[in-house]
Structure 1
Amino acid sequence: MFPRASLVRRPEAVQRPGMTKSLEYLLTAGCLKDFVGRNSQPEGQSVPMQGKGLIITEKPSVAKDIVQALGGFEEKGKGDYYESETMVCTYAVGHILTLLEPEDINPIYKRWRLADLPIIPEDFKTKPVPNQKTRLGVIKKLMERNDVAYLVNACDAAREGELIFREIVKHVGVTKPIHRLWLQSMTKKAIQDGFKSLQDGMKYIGLAAAAECRAHADWLIGMNATRALTVRLKAKNQRGVSWSAGRVQTPTLSLLVERELEVLEHNPQAYWKVIGNFEANGQVYDGTWYDPNFDRKNATREQKEDRIFEKAKAEAVIQTIAGKPALASETRKPSPRNPPMLFDLTSLQRTANTRFGWSANRTLRAAQRCYETHKVLTYPRTSSKVLPEDYKPEVSRILDILSGTGDYGPHAKHLLDKGLLNQDKVFNNEGVTDHFAIIPTGEVRALEGDDQKLFDLVTRQFMASFYPPSVYEEVERITEVGGNYFRSKPPRVLKEAGWEAVFGKVPDKGDKSFAALIPGKDKAEGVSVKSSEATLEEHETKPPARISEAGLLSLMENAGRHIENEELSQALRGADGLGTAATRADIIENLKNREYVDENLRPTPKGIRLIDILHRINASRLTSAELTGQLELFLNEVEEGKRSPGDFMREIATYAKDVVDSTRDFDFEQIYPDENPLGPCPNCGRPVFERAWFYGCSESTKRAGKKACDFLIWKDFNGRYINRNAVRILLEKKVTPELDGFKNANGKDYRAVLELQGGKLVRRVVENSTEVDPNQPQLDVNLEPIAPCPLKCAPDCMVIETPADYACQTKVKGRDAGEKRGAPGFAFPRVLCKRNLTREDLVTFLQTKETPIISDFVSKKGRKFSAKLVMENDWTGFRFEFPPRVKKSAAKDDEGAGTEAAATASPAPAEGNG
């Protein structure tokens, strides 16, 4: 995948400031040597446990759990750290360091110029993340204390956790020995056991090296590709627009774009189905004609065994069977559905998207709150669906606690009484990755909103995994008449609920509408039935379905299965595909924030154009999962000591240079040649060709004021990508069919027809085509009133839940009467800036005219921020109020996030939300 040729040295005259004279520096990997060779004892020697140990966790909540589990700690410095007689414990807040930006390396890089690319730093140095200088200062001061003799890495047990800790150690520059705490659960016993068996940091040097190599590789590829593409693709009048590219982000976008182009290029075809009408034992049933000799192997996606693409042939079938005797055969058989596996993060996100319509990010936020804040679920950022084999006593303990609850009690008691099934599948040490599956911890808390729904889903899945299969009865009846065959497949009937009982399913009482051909028999052949007149149904082929968020998560997770190179495929499968369980939600959100896809994951013209350009300039590797597969293969070799970090970085640097060269050297006229004309120009009759940004004839693209024809069709037309097929139809028929995907000023979708009138393109909006906003939250409703309406709209007017907000009964009645947003009354959002607001938040707001400070708001650009909502305009509006800022530099960044959030959700006088 990566070039194996020796690196090309640049002439001295074109050396870049902040770069080495050649890429050979990376062979020595001085920074990596410092990174992994420091802070460990020689192999085979134990680390002395003298003096105090400094524990560094990845999150504040984990630090609290550890000090509570170990005991004997006192809070110091207003919660900055904790200290006991033998240990000190402090925390990071995720990544508190980030790699230097190019302009930090040298001011010349403030201007994005192709002449300065590729940017290859001599050393990958770090700087504090905005607002984290104080946190870094606390950690540094503790690290440098004379009584601190060794460090304990208590960050998450994975590659990223190792990176967070080692970055801090390297940045501070201390050389004290390192121990590693490797936890897969945050229970008190697990923490205590973990500290009894701390590992020597030397054991994780390979993991640390691979972690930093991955971070540096992503920087090199992403930074250079993004700058090169932005310089080449950004219009002259665009400011602040970036054409971001990356190792995982771009292949993910490519999956969506490939499907979108299939949808757009689809040409509907008419086909017919013949529905036969029959009677057996006094009961009427239908059957659909099918071809028993259908060749599935060589069929196209649109060809099916029950589709007839010639109407005359379909009509002939009806004539052939008229008045003929019919014989029916039938098979009834049980169809078991195996119990589900436990959830890993990706399967949990898929299920929540399918059942609740949640985004991957929304699911992750709820799971994190259930883990960190409520302590009711285990660590969610896992790619494992099994438990350790020694976890059986813990499962019994959790079931014992659940057996005392109302909702889960009967199912938990059943498992305790009958015993746990499927233990070989659920308990499997080999299937445990850095963390085991997501299960309840046994803590019982009162939850609301998203947190309650997610906890319920995980808890029921946990219990269901130990149940027997559910069993359905499937029936297939084949009716033959006049040499034609008709298939009948009624809905399955649930005979034994099995594991589905945990989700509320009960066995069906029986479907008498489709009784057996021979009563009491599961099989029947050659039974005479009556044949009535058949009917003809006309249909039209549909394009493939667009990819949902659940579908995209599956495609990302299974990306390696479609790679022909077996070695790369295995590497990608071992890395769980594109991205990780912990990062896929952020990748998807980044695609939305960078306007490559909309909220429904439909690629925008910008996203389609990026992938199209990359393919045309022979940079397709950047759009392929194979790049990630190759990188993971090399990272595994680095972790195992089979490849040096320097060799790895040399490969990456060479690849980054190739991407820049491909981007710098292409010519738009060469990658969009005058080939494959789409039709004649309606103005001058010359052939119309595809260009980079539009479709036009040769005369419409002349420069320097010599344009002889003004006909062109922009690819980005009112937010919709105009594809080749639409242009081809337009030039041929002067009008297109109804096209979806156009967007109005509010970002809502609508349908329109494009027409050519006098050589000009005209858009005709389809009446009543504006769709319901797919981003409007539609949540479950608790019908119990919450509190009296603060506006006192009417006697006994109460605030209640609606699928989208909390509103008083007067306002709800006004909406039902058609007043919609203009309806008078009180309303308060249930989801604001992607944060679920609970009934408790509302009650506090009504009592004190403000909420507590709420974390996890997400701005329009994907930045998290904290704020409280304060009442305005006598209960008809509210505003954000942000926590006080301590430092001027921090205030600048917080203010930026706050301004952005306020613009996203400014209060509306009548509704109280934006």
Structure 2
Amino acid sequence: MKLVIAEKPSVAQSIAKVIGATERQDGYLEGNGYIVSWCVGHLVELAEPEYYDEKYSKWRYEDLPILPEQWEYQVSESTKKQFKVLKDLMKRSDVTSLVEATDAGREGELIFRLVYHQAGCNRPFERLWISSMEDKAIEEGFANLKSGSEYDALYEAAVCRERADWMVGMNATRLFSTLYGQTLNVGRVMTPTLAMLVTREAEISGFKSEPFYTIAITVGGVKAISERYSIKSEAEDVLRKVRDAGNTVIRKNRTTEKQEKAPQLYDLTNLQRDANKMLGFTAQQTLDYAQSLYEKKLITYPRTDSRFLAEDMAVNLPKLSNSVAEKYGYTKRFEPNYKQIINNKKVSDHHAIIPTINIVDVNYGELPSGEQKVLSLISCRFLVGMAEPCVVNETELEFEAAGVVFKAKAKQVAKKGWRDIQEWFFVAKKEDTADSDEGRILDNLNFFEEGKILPVRETEIKEGKTSPKKHFTEDTLLSAMEHASADEMPDDAEHKGIGTPATRAGTIEKLVRIGFVERRGDKKTKYLIPTHKGTALITVMPEEIQSASMTADWEEKLIDIERKKYSADEFIREIGAMITELVQTYKVIEDAEVLMHPVNEPLGPCPCCGKNVVEKSKGFFCEGGDFALWKNNRFFNSLSKKLTKQVAEKLLKDGKAKLKGCRSVKTGKTYDCVVRMTVDEMKRPQFGLEFEKRKSYER
């Protein structure tokens, strides 16, 4: 018998169906010479510090740094039953070998190997490496199993990542928490990401808006604008000269044809960015939807950093592209250029995310709304990536009056190309240019002949103000994480930035969950704003911990370990030396007590006694102790929503708050509603829902 170990039960069931292991047992499936079982996430984890020495159960500065000489592992309490199932299967007398079928990547490798070693297994194993859960892909994968030893370096890199995270997180968290008297979570990727957010907010709050002035003239029905002037009197002087001149000369009338190449296929980060920008999804939501689509065999492996396909996939592209176009009803003539999306040199462990041929048979109505939208994004980008360029004619007019140059511009799409497909999937907002400056330029190009003198009809000074950078959204933060310190990396480096496509979403979610970052905004646009606690942490954090440059350097070294170009032992020694130096040399920031414990601003009056309700780490509490709104709230959890500061303020002020995009835990359906809050005789908040038809119920 061959024992096949997958990462999740759903994946195990798909594999078992293909290879004929259809007989259900407790924790596994069996048949046709195979046993198929599964992990449940990380069954085996690094041991806590107190496992090495009981003294570490208390956090003390004098016990730092904690750097194990021999690393120990423990089975998670919640997964002991499934671990026992796997261990017993590995020791079964009829099991001669194993197939590692966890996700084909660094973390999947780690999950399997830790279980394999913790169970004391020494039987040979082979590696299943696939990028799709389609039946055909699974069949081909089993026909081409590789020796497990080929992935030893990948496992070493995964172990280094895990242990580096443990050393930095465990030691730095205890160091700063003991020095500043409160829990301050630190992470190898999390802290530099938080530093980005804090730095951006500091730039915004410190920005001083300054006025600037431009002069607008109207010539031939077209408005043209001058350069900016920082002093109003200068602009007024120019305005007088232009009025005195009365006429203007056309210095330039030039139209340039520009081609906008079709965007590349999606990797995970770019899929998450577009889903956030276009649909308002968080990075984690997008990853969850994509993972579910993958397990339903509708898309290829989502945790990829590649935006191209491998050459051996070309043979299947005509049928797939025709099927996707037909599925979405795109019937216009379309001649895909497959070469645009194929590049072996830019495919790493996995190729770009594309739909599978199974999309033909899917019933969209049976998919949750979020999955429908993510599948549409992926399908659209697949077709768009093979389409012709969009051709745009850009016209630039330049007028000169009294020695001052005024400019006007217009754009006209000559050939939609790939944009036609994108508009089919996501209807573009039509812009009426008939009565606009652009429309007048395009309709009268011959009128604006170079060298021609025309009268200036209207003149005015326009005042504007300089603007600060925008707050980070998940779209722009993901981009910043992806490109952090990219200018310090070699040009040929495949992995740049901090984190990986698979971990960036989890990093953002953790920052929100532990209270370092809040989501603010409405509708689709949510901004990520650091809290006072998050800002305070970065303020006292030394450069080497919050540096994106250092973290990006670590990611590059992990890749080098995978390629056998760098020593895993040397990497761990480097991290240990850095942590030791940090513990020994860090000095507490003066006046940090004030920084760490700010005066809480009142959110509103307590509905019981009228005293102020203030925000604390775990909720919103009356200063008189009569009333509490807990952040970890069962009612809001049942709606798949968080009890945020903004919602708490509305409940205290109005007794109700609107919630959009609530999601039923049972059905997965989304809806909008109004939450009403009352207080019972025990001074406890009670919540109810109202819908458009005014139906309500209590929970």
With the length of structure 1 as denominator, give the TM-score of the two structures: 0.64
SS at the partner of 1:598? strand
List aligned pairs for 1:74-89, cutoff 5 A: 74-78=22-26, 80-89=27-36
List aligned pairs for 1:44-193, cutoff 5 A: 52-70=1-19, 72-78=20-26, 80-193=27-140
1:18 aligned partner: none
User: 1-side partners of 2:40 and 2:138: how far apart?
Assistant: 20
2:155 aligned partner: 208
SS at the partner of 1:276? strand
- Opposite residue 63 of structure 2, the aligned amino acid is D
- Opposite residue 605 of structure 1, the aligned amino acid is H
1:831 aligned partner: 662
Going from structure 1 to structure 2, the CA distance change for 1:102 and 1:648 (only over 3 Å counts) comes to same
1:232 aligned partner: 179
For residue 467 of structure 1, the aligned residue among 376, 384, 387 is 387
SS at the partner of 1:489? strand
**Residue 603 of structure 2 corresponds to residue 603 of structure 1:** no
Cα contact 1:69–1:192 (8 A) shared by 2: yes
2:363 aligned partner: 445
1:851 aligned partner: none
CA deviation string 1:587-644 (max 9, x = no partner): 0111111221111311122222222212xxxx31111122223323433443344444
1:194 aligned partner: 141
For residue 545 of structure 1, the aligned residue among 433, 448, 470 is 470
2:625 aligned partner: none
List aligned pairs for 1:402-421, cutoff 5 A: 402-405=324-327, 407-410=328-331, 414-415=333-334, 418=335, 420-421=336-337
For residue 692 of structure 1, the aligned residue among 592, 601, 604 is 592
Larger Rg: 1
User: 2-side partners of 1:213 and 1:276: how far apart?
Assistant: 64
SS at the partner of 2:78? coil
- Opposite residue 503 of structure 1, the aligned amino acid is Q
User: 2-side partners of 1:582 and 1:517: how far apart?
Assistant: 47
User: 2-side partners of 1:484 and 1:398: how far apart?
Assistant: 57
User: 1-side partners of 2:537 and 2:656: how far apart?
Assistant: 42
CA deviation string 1:766-793 (max 9, x = no partner): xxxxxxxxxxxxxxxxxxxxxxxxxxxx
1:477 aligned partner: 397
Going from structure 1 to structure 2, the CA distance change for 1:638 and 1:473 (only over 3 Å counts) comes to closer
Going from structure 1 to structure 2, the CA distance change for 1:605 and 1:395 (only over 3 Å counts) comes to same
Going from structure 1 to structure 2, the CA distance change for 1:522 and 1:63 (only over 3 Å counts) comes to farther
Cα contact 1:336–1:470 (8 A) shared by 2: yes
**Residue 163 of structure 2 corresponds to residue 248 of structure 1:** no
User: 2-side partners of 1:464 and 1:552: how far apart?
Assistant: 25
CA deviation string 1:734-759 (max 9, x = no partner): xxxxxxxxx99689xxxxxxxxxxxx
User: 2-side partners of 1:473 and 1:834: how far apart?
Assistant: 50
- Opposite residue 450 of structure 2, the aligned amino acid is E
For residue 601 of structure 2, the aligned residue among 714, 718, 723 is 718
- Opposite residue 498 of structure 1, the aligned amino acid is G
**CA offset at residue 114 of structure 1?**
0.3
**Residue 535 of structure 2 corresponds to residue 586 of structure 1:** no
2:374 aligned partner: 454
Cα contact 1:330–1:517 (8 A) shared by 2: no
User: 1-side partners of 2:164 and 2:504: how far apart?
Assistant: 18
- Opposite residue 499 of structure 1, the aligned amino acid is W
**Residue 396 of structure 2 corresponds to residue 496 of structure 1:** no
Cα contact 1:256–1:601 (8 A) shared by 2: yes
Going from structure 1 to structure 2, the CA distance change for 1:522 and 1:258 (only over 3 Å counts) comes to farther
**Residue 279 of structure 2 corresponds to residue 396 of structure 1:** no
1:32 aligned partner: none
**CA offset at residue 395 of structure 1?**
2.3
1:727 aligned partner: none
For residue 268 of structure 1, the aligned residue among 209, 222, 242 is 209
Query: Unpaired runs of 5+ in structure 1?
Result: 1-51, 235-240, 291-305, 670-690, 696-712, 721-742, 748-803, 805-818, 843-874, 879-902
User: 2-side partners of 1:547 and 1:344: how far apart?
Assistant: 21
Cα contact 2:7–2:108 (8 A) shared by 1: yes
**Residue 258 of structure 2 corresponds to residue 335 of structure 1:** yes
Moved over 4 A (4+): 505-513, 516-523, 713-717, 743-747, 819-823, 827-830, 833-836, 875-878, 903-914
User: 2-side partners of 1:512 and 1:218: how far apart?
Assistant: 59
SS at the partner of 2:518? coil
- Opposite residue 54 of structure 1, the aligned amino acid is L
**Residue 668 of structure 2 corresponds to residue 668 of structure 1:** no
**CA offset at residue 75 of structure 1?**
2.7
For residue 237 of structure 2, the aligned residue among 308, 311, 316 is 316
For residue 653 of structure 1, the aligned residue among 576, 586, 592 is 576
User: 2-side partners of 1:905 and 1:271: how far apart?
Assistant: 53
Cα contact 1:495–1:508 (8 A) shared by 2: no
**CA offset at residue 517 of structure 1?**
8.5
**CA offset at residue 833 of structure 1?**
8.3
- Opposite residue 240 of structure 2, the aligned amino acid is Q
Q: What is the aligned residue count?
A: 625
Going from structure 1 to structure 2, the CA distance change for 1:521 and 1:129 (only over 3 Å counts) comes to farther
User: 1-side partners of 2:368 and 2:184: how far apart?
Assistant: 40
User: 1-side partners of 2:656 and 2:537: how far apart?
Assistant: 42
Cα contact 1:152–1:178 (8 A) shared by 2: yes
- Opposite residue 668 of structure 2, the aligned amino acid is L
Going from structure 1 to structure 2, the CA distance change for 1:913 and 1:202 (only over 3 Å counts) comes to farther
User: 1-side partners of 2:655 and 2:454: how far apart?
Assistant: 59
1:612 aligned partner: 539
SS at the partner of 1:626? helix
**CA offset at residue 661 of structure 1?**
2.0
- Opposite residue 222 of structure 2, the aligned amino acid is Y
Going from structure 1 to structure 2, the CA distance change for 1:522 and 1:394 (only over 3 Å counts) comes to farther
User: 2-side partners of 1:469 and 1:277: how far apart?
Assistant: 35
Cα contact 2:656–2:675 (8 A) shared by 1: no
SS at the partner of 2:286? helix
For residue 532 of structure 1, the aligned residue among 431, 454, 457 is 457
- Opposite residue 187 of structure 1, the aligned amino acid is E
- Opposite residue 355 of structure 1, the aligned amino acid is M
2:648 aligned partner: none
User: 2-side partners of 1:225 and 1:481: how far apart?
Assistant: 64
CA deviation string 1:539-565 (max 9, x = no partner): 2222221222111111111113232xx
- Opposite residue 589 of structure 2, the aligned amino acid is F
User: 2-side partners of 1:905 and 1:336: how far apart?
Assistant: 59
CA RMSD of aligned residues (A): 3.3
User: 2-side partners of 1:539 and 1:634: how far apart?
Assistant: 48
Query: Unpaired runs of 5+ in structure 2?
Result: 520-526, 604-611, 617-640, 642-652, 678-683
1:861 aligned partner: none
Cα contact 1:251–1:624 (8 A) shared by 2: yes
List aligned pairs for 1:492-891, cutoff 5 A: 492-504=411-423, 511=434, 513=436, 514-516=439-441, 521=446, 524-563=449-488, 566=489, 573-599=493-519, 600-614=527-541, 619-663=542-586, 666-669=587-590, 691-694=591-594, 718=601, 830-832=661-663, 837-838=668-669
